[in-house]
Amino acid sequence: MINKKEIIVSCPTCKKKLLYNPESSYRPFCSPACKDDDLIAWSDQEFKIKGQEMSDEDLQEEERKQKRNQNGR
């Protein structure tokens, strides 16, 4: 029998301690409500990934580069 170490984590939303279990459909959250609250926070832009904003010109140039790469140029 394999001895598996139990991993205790905190729910990212409510901070409740819970067993991190691969069978849990809500992981790393403790409940569907906490999972939904996190999704809503992202959609409301309460969370952001740090980075620099691109100007319209830079964005257009990046799109052109990606199209060229997709076309094998």
Please tell me the total count of domains within the chain. 1
Which tokens go with 53?
């904003």
Separation between Cα atoms, residue 55 and residue 23, nearest integer Å: 44
- Judge whether 58 lies within some domain: no
pTM surpassing 0.85? no
* Alpha-helix runs per DSSP H in 1-73: 32-43, 56-70
Cα–Cα–Cα angle for 67, 45, 50, rounded to 5 degrees: 65
Which residues span the domain enclosing 23? 1-49
Which tokens go with 16?
């409740």
- Judge whether 71 lies within some domain: no
The CATH number covering residue 28 comes to 3.30.50.10
What pLDDT is attached to residue 2?
Answer: 55
Residue pLDDT, tens place only, 2-21:
557 889 999 999 999 999 98
CA 33 to chain centre: 17
